[in-house]
Amino acid sequence: MSAPPVSPMVLSFEDACRVVEEQAALIQASVQVMGTESVDLLSAAGRVLATPVVADRAIPPFPRSTRDGYAVRSADVSQLPATLDVIGEIKAGEKLEKIPANIGRGQAASIMTGAPVPAGADAVVMVEYTSQRGARVEITKSAVPGENIVPRGAEAREGALLLDRGFRLNEAAIALAASVAGSRLQVYQRPRVAVLTTGDEIVDVDATPGPTQIRNSNSYSLAAQIRRAGGEPVLLSVAPDELQGLRRLIAEGLNSDLLLLTGGVSMGRYDLVEQALSEMHAEFFFTGAKIQPGRPVVFGRCCAGKFGAGTPARDEPLTYFFGLPGNPVSTMVTFELFVRPLLEALAGQSPRKRPFLHARLKKEIRVKTGLRRFLPASLSGDFEQSEVELVAWQGSGDIAATARANCYIVIPPDRECMAAGEWVAVMMR
């Protein structure tokens, strides 16, 4: 079943990103989305909304005082000091019948933060600018209409769409949902992401490695990244650098929603991942990107059905796969750059551009041109003084250096030298 060698398709970083984004958009547009499940608000963080969250009432539901003080008519405090009659006290949660029906001319009501501002009043003067003696209060600061009041419905009108389907829930979104939606939310099920590590030298973490063997770290870093990106990792056995065993495990992995392979995609004689996939009639979108680390990264899709006899039938489901270079830092970086956007789409999340920060470079960097580089770095310092510098490393196999880093400095492909003090793009991890 030997297949012709895969012709190399090495794209620029931008083109490779575009290809992934196009496929992510196709996933988002397709009817073939993940199933849904109901989750408690307490475990909803990071999940993707499958049903929109709509305001069941106005937010705020009443004109809300944002200060402790006195609800007044602003016209009454234009001449200072002003002395007003205190006709009531309104605390947060006050029963409606205890709230003065109207604040008339020359009147005020003592009011607390979060309490409803009564009719007639159009401003709240902070308690710091008042002194009450008996039933009268002296005001020493004027107020403009609306001051310290959030009008009813100003944050959201009743029936307004607060969070759309595809929104990945953070703590603010959970607070919003809690304020209108009860204790459960409908979210998409997490896509199952198969992780297939390849290499004759790789042993499981619990095994005692022989003198030339190394422990499998990639499956574990990938599992962490998959979870963070909203997927459910499924670790397969380590595949040997041999076609038959590799094909069997690839076939197993293609039954998941996404397959990630690590190792075996470079130019070595035993780098057999592309050949195995090609024999299984895979379609390749690219087989390399002009980046460092991670140049040999592969992206494609393959039919999860039967293999060997002819091309797959049209209606057989296709599973996306990535072949990530085996060097541990290459695996981590290529996940962040290419796998994450596709996985987010599979998870039902609406597309978003990855944010990059900018920081001043602490020390000069010199590199060769031609590749966009993502080099492990350390971002430190306060506020306007933040600075970033490369961590010393031994190349893309150096996990220890990368564990000390908290970000990556991004170096454009046409830059040979980045001077100290220059602003550089930073990709957070």
Q: Integer distance in angstroms from the first to the last C-alpha of the chain?
A: 41
Q: For ligand AMP, what does the binding mask look like between residues 152 and 191, x meaning CB under 6 A?
A: ----------------------------------------
199 counts as binding ligand AMP under rule CB under 6 A: yes
Query: How many helical (H) and strand (E) elements, i.e. helices and strands, does the chain have?
Result: 8, 30
| Binding span for ligand AMP by CB under 6 A among 7-15, 22-30, 163-171, 210-218 | 210-218
Cβ within 8 Å of residue 225, ≥6 positions away? 332, 335, 336, 339, 340
Contact yes or no for 305/341 (Cβ under 8 A):
no
Distance CA 337, CA 358 (A): 17
Find where tokens 């003065």 sit: 100
Which of ligand AMP, Mg ion, none is residue 396 near (CB under 5 to 8 Å by kind)? Answer: none
> 271-290: which residues touch ligand AMP (CB under 6 A)?
271
The interface partner of residue 328, options being ligand AMP, Mg ion, none and the CB cut-off 5 to 8 Å by kind, is: ligand AMP
90 contacts: CB under 8 Å, gap ≥ 6: 65, 71, 98, 99, 100, 109, 110, 111, 112, 115, 116, 118
Contact pick of 325, 341, 348, 376 for ligand AMP (by CB under 6 A): 325
113, 266, 350, 386: residue in contact with ligand AMP (rule CB under 6 A) = 266
Q: Would you say 263 and 327 are in contact if contact means Cβ atoms under 8 Å apart? A: no
Residue 201 contact partner, candidates Mg ion, ligand AMP, none, CB within 5 to 8 A by sort of partner: ligand AMP
Using CB under 5 A, which of 263, 294, 312, 328 touches Mg ion? Answer: 263
Binding letters toward Mg ion, positions 199-238, x by CB under 5 A: x---------------------------------------
Asked if 376 interacts with Mg ion (CB under 5 A), we say no
Q: Closer to ligand AMP at the Cβ: 332 or 410?
A: 332
Quick check: 380 and 409 in contact, CB under 8 A? no
Number of residues interacting with ligand AMP: please give it, by CB under 6 A: 20
Residue whose CB is less far from ligand AMP, 76 or 271: 271
Stretch that binds Mg ion, among 6-14, 259-267, 336-344, 349-357 (CB under 5 A): 259-267
CB-count exposure of residue 337 (10 Å: 0-12, 13-18, 19+): buried
Q: Which stretch binds ligand AMP (CB under 6 A): 186-194, 251-259, 263-271, 416-424?
A: 263-271
Question: 4: phi > 0 → left, psi -120 to 50 → alpha, else beta; which?
Answer: beta
Minimum CB–partner distance for residue 256 and ligand AMP (Å): 18
CA distance 410 to 379: 13
Q: Does 201 bind ligand AMP (CB under 6 A)?
A: yes
We find the least distance from the C-beta atom of residue 12 to Mg ion, in angstroms, to be 26
Name the amino acid, one letter, at 418: M
Beta bridge partners of 410: 374, 425
Site string for ligand AMP, 217-256 (x = CB under 6 A): xxx-------------------------------------
Contact 386, 359 (CB under 8 A): yes
Q: Which one of Mg ion, ligand AMP, none interacts with residue 325, CB within 5 to 8 A by kind?
A: ligand AMP
> For the chain, how are helix, strand and coil distributed in percent, rounded to 5?
25, 30, 45
Judge contact between 343 and 232, C-beta under 8 A: no
Residue 149 has a CB neighbour count (10 Å cut-off) of 23
- x-marked contacts with ligand AMP along 284-323 as a string, rule CB under 6 A: ----------------------------------------
Identify which of residues 141 and 404 has a Cβ nearer to ligand AMP in the complex.
404
Q: Binds 94, which of Mg ion, ligand AMP, none (CB < 5 to 8 A, cut-off by type)?
A: none
Residues binding ligand AMP (CB under 6 A): 197, 199, 201-202, 214, 216-219, 262-264, 266, 268, 271, 325-328, 397
